[in-house]
A and B are shown apart, each in its own frame.
Chain A
């Protein structure tokens, strides 16, 4: 059909020609790209920190870096990857895609949107400026009190951590409000909440989760700041304060945060899998309902991070049970994705490869998660490398694989050019092999008793070989990301012209030009089904005849 043809001639270079406008933009697409590019910079930095950690653990009794530097590295690695890479990257995609997918011209509050981005960038910068001010934060990304109290953490590094997270948190909250409002009020005519793409569903619940989960940690961080700078006693056990309160407040945010990073990833997979299976998503309603269930349940499981602090057996049992329950809606989604693939005409292009990688890796992370939700197992392996292995399977194998699928899927929309498919395959296989080589041995090292956060170990523990495998895997991952960055850089300049709808997809973002005009759509489209572009391309058999 003529609609879906495009010529190379009208592709304009997206970044270079309009450089000054990027600093002042309020366009959701430019802000989305700013988010993504900035978090890619942080990804490189956080990756280098991980390499330092892995290099230090290469051999027993290593003195490559001292314990102080090692503590800074794992603190900054965790903080960076969670607050300045995965979350903003997903917000970048959310920012870019949500208005396009719901047929809107922009977010509900465009200036607030720009404010969010700059708060994120500023918060990240503040956290990293600590390197110039006498040392980076070295208290872990969870900043457990009373370790973070002034008595045990002298100097300013912890204050930099507090302020950096506080500032970027304000931006995150503003984004959450913006996303929820946009999705609730700006949908195109005919697009009821039962017809929005699943990615949009997930972003909406992401926002709702953040609205309720982020303020408690903001309050806790302010309390910590008051303790450190005004002599308050919230977490000062000498004055009757509680070290456990910090853990409760932190994990009340920290656990939903896992789903804040997972839900958009689920959304990405729910867009990619149907298009590359050439089938409608299996059980749209149950995927959406499972999102709601995950959102609600995730608020009630935070204390499973605290089985070993000595809560009562009854509390342990309640939180353990609630954590097991999360497996149900997550399992429903897995079944839906697999049922979508089953019997489909699979197109194994790079987005689909990464989506399949996500399904396999996230499954392993989910299974070890169920193991950890069992209190007796958690008592054995808590704070060992088993846990490190588990959450990397969830966050790297889950969120980051999905993010890669998103890059390859939507890059043509944002730039008008395709990414190189051959390099994509190299990256995928390097990532899959390197990822498993890095993180699978961690489970074994953990079961052998290797604690988290130790900076070195003696040779007689039997951990050496597992650490060396991990380090080799980390080196492979470094190569994989070098390939990815080169592919991005090179494809922006010389990628093959993509056209408006290179994947023959069905959601509204593909109905406009690549890259889209500032106003997104010349005419706001009217929606009659969950696959508006299918209806346009197949007027003889439109979806809305089959949907109730």
Chain B
């Protein structure tokens, strides 16, 4: 390969073009696009689970039914915590962008606590369902679809909490600073996404499906 002549050709082309028209985008942008693609696939995944849930709504041959066993007060409290965590993660993100590391840590910790509260709520609910009402994944179709849908959402919350906790631990010795705010974007997007999925799940399972 005669690189010299290629390079000179490129140089000619560049000169003709005036050097403009660069389409290459930086690494931050890359992570953002990748995350959007990933979240689209996640939406398709949860969409399928929700379709399955709706398909089998009321199709169980035996009880218990959703109306008999789902307790609203607990899940409303959990939902409130999760929705609030979307606000706190946003505040954490804004603080990081503004370079206020202390504020960032505070809101991040609040987010983690709120997310953990949601999971605790789910655990209490599941304990009740399984040990008081005898609803398991193999009991009937409601149990099958309920535990699959809510379980996969809980798994996603858990993954999000691990990511947030990792960020928190890294921020303690000062490893997270203003210039990581673009990277923190994708984690907060993921968290917002998991919250939005929950709002749909809440509507389908506890409002519409009850």
What is the interface of chain A, defined by CB distance below 8 A to chain B? 1-3, 5-6, 104, 108-109, 173, 176-178, 180-181, 184-192, 207, 211-216, 218-220, 222-223, 226, 230-234, 239-242, 245, 249, 500, 511-513, 522-528, 532, 535-536, 539
Contacts and interface: CB of A to CB of B under 8 A. Distances in A.
B137 A192 contact: no
Given A216-B48, A539-B12, A109 B23 contact: no
A536 B23 contact: no
A185 B9 contact: no
Interface of B: 1-3, 5-7, 9-10, 12-14, 16-17, 19, 21-25, 29-30, 33-34, 37-38, 40-42, 44-45, 47-49, 52, 55-56, 59-61, 137-138, 140-141, 144-145, 148
A235 B36 CA distance: 32
Given A180-B37, A526-B13, A539-B9, A220 B23 contact: no
A22 B137 CA distance: 44
Nearest to A189: B22
B131 to A, nearest CB: 17
Contacts of B7: 522-523
20 contacts: A173-B41, A176-B41, A177-B38, A181-B30, A189-B17, A190-B17, A191-B23, A207-B37, A211-B41, A216-B45, A216-B47, A219-B45, A219-B49, A232-B138, A240-B59, A241-B141, A242-B55, A500-B1, A523-B7, A536-B10
A219 B9 contact: no
B5 A220 contact: no
A100 to B, nearest CB: 14
A190 B22 CA distance: 5
A180 B61 CA distance: 45
A426 B52 CA distance: 52
A545 to B, nearest CB: 10
B33 A185 contact: yes
B61 A211 contact: no
A457 B168 CA distance: 67
A522 B5 contact: no
Contacts of B145: 234
Contacts of B30: 108-109, 181, 185-186
Contacts of B45: 215-216, 218-219
A109 to B, nearest CB: 6
Contact of A249 (B5, B48, B138): B48
Contacts of A532: 13
Contact of A232 (B5, B19, B144): B144
Contacts of A173: 41
A213 B55 CA distance: 19
Contacts of A192: 21, 23
B21 A190 contact: yes
A212 B38 CA distance: 10
A230 B137 contact: yes
